[in-house]
Amino acid sequence: MDPRKSAKILGYNLPEHRKNIAHYMWTIFTESTQLTTQDLREFPFIIDRDGPFPISKSFDDILHGSVNNIVDRYRLPEGLDEFRNEEPIACAFYLMNSLHESLLPEYKWDKYQRYPYQESIQYANDLMEVNYVQEIFDHQYQKICGKSPPRMNSRIMWSHDIDYLYSAWKSDLITAYRTRQRTRIPSLLYKALTRPHRWNNIEQILQLEKQVGIHSLFFWITEHGKAATTNDHYIDHADYSFQNKNVRRLWNKIVQAGSENGLHKSAFNSSFRDEMNKLPDQVTINRNHFLKLNVTKHYKALESSGLRYDASLGFPEHHGFRNSFGRPFHPYNIPKNRPYSFIEIPLHLMDTTFLTYYGWDKCEMMTRMKEFINQHKYACTLSILLHNSHFDFHDTAEVEHWHQFFYSQRSMHSVLPTQIGSESRPFN
């Protein structure tokens, strides 16, 4: 709904401190359901504490930093359905902004200092594959308009995290050693010396995507070495450098192909700005390496970075909706009682989830990804991450599988961040 018109058709019977957050939720609601002025049955439409779009008591707890009051009131996570029934819009806000993640002490985080999926409200309620917030919005639309909302076709944002370009041979040697296939080591070394690097495949990916009409995002790391997360665990970083002419050439090839580059923020304590300054050109989007983030701290750092988009919000261990919402959105800056300026694009499908955490092969992964996409053909911008290191263009059969996978989604419009901006507007 055009905010210039909303003032003419909306009224607020709310305390002053709830009006900003009411407008924020109304904007996201109208955009996610495509509600228009013609859909409303009465004017002005009043947003109050009750009614079909209630800005209810839990919003005071949220704004006062008392999220634990909501947890106690509804016995969360088990009482989520009761929370939804009693205060649907507050429940949508709570999930969309991942408020439960702020309640877990950091000593319960995983070995890479990430919030664990099994501690989430989504895990407790078996909701990871459910677009739960959209279900809430659709139900409220029905109550307000007396009909179901229109169906909007989903879109896909394709992306690639470029962790490595030149280390495939090292990975192959380590695998051969660990699986006691040491007789393969001489041939692996010979291939490393005589054949192109298997992971240096950006141009092949671009060509594959061109064949099926896809443009995508490539996230690049500027840092090297290992970042310690505990005494025994480290996060490895890039095996390439932008001092290398070939790497800069690949960056330019991506731009020339109509795709986009972004920052793959390291696990080191350097700032976004410090790392962005090491890239060949300015970027507008980030995704954190290893999906390592503390939501509250991450959003605060992003706000001061000048970045317009972020694509980090996903669980490495499980595919689906980390914040129970299938669309890009502006997270809410609770201390300042207004939305952040950047847009968060949640991550829904990542190859490493299937290949590493589930232990599946690539064909199984592609089948499940297609099923998930088919289950969410409406009302989503589905974000998909495929690492370049999981493409083997030396394997003809695998290349054909990748082609079939991309081709199977040709009816789904692919979208880049600059085209997503119109989906979600900040409150002014």
Length of the chain as a residue count: 428
Mind listing the pLDDT tens digit for each residue in 311-350? 999 999 999 999 999 999 999 999 999 999 999 999 999 9
CATH 3.20.20.370 in the chain: give the residue spans: 155-165+200-423
- Please give the Cα distance from 341 to 24 (Å, whole number): 12
Single pTM value for the model: 0.92
- Measured CA to CA in angstroms, residue 310 lies from 44, 325, 376 at distances of 36, 15, 22
* Cα distance between the two ends of the chain: 15
Mind listing the pLDDT tens digit for each residue in 371-413? 999 999 999 999 999 999 999 999 999 999 999 999 999 999 9
> What average pLDDT is seen over the chain?
92
Q: What is the pLDDT at residue 287?
A: 98
- Please give the Cα distance from 413 to 182 (Å, whole number): 46
User: Is residue 187 over pLDDT 90?
Assistant: no
Mind listing the pLDDT tens digit for each residue in 87-119? 999 999 999 999 999 999 999 999 999 999 999
What is the rounded average pLDDT of the residues 261-271? 97
Q: What is the pLDDT at residue 420?
A: 85
What is the rounded average pLDDT of the residues 206-219? 96
The listed CATH number (2.40.30.110, 3.20.20.370, 1.10.1040.10, 3.30.420.40) that belongs to domain 155-165+200-423: 3.20.20.370
What is the rounded average pLDDT of the residues 203-208? 98
Q: What is the pLDDT at residue 182?
A: 56
pLDDT-based confidence at 37, cuts 50/70/90? confident
Q: Could you give the angle at which helices 132-145 and 16-33 cross, rounded to 10 degrees?
A: 100
What is the rounded average pLDDT of the residues 273-301? 97
Instruction: Look at 272 and 419; give whichever has higher pLDDT.
Output: 272
Q: What is the pLDDT at residue 68?
A: 98
Mind listing the pLDDT tens digit for each residue in 127-175? 999 999 999 999 999 999 999 999 999 999 999 999 999 986 565 555 5
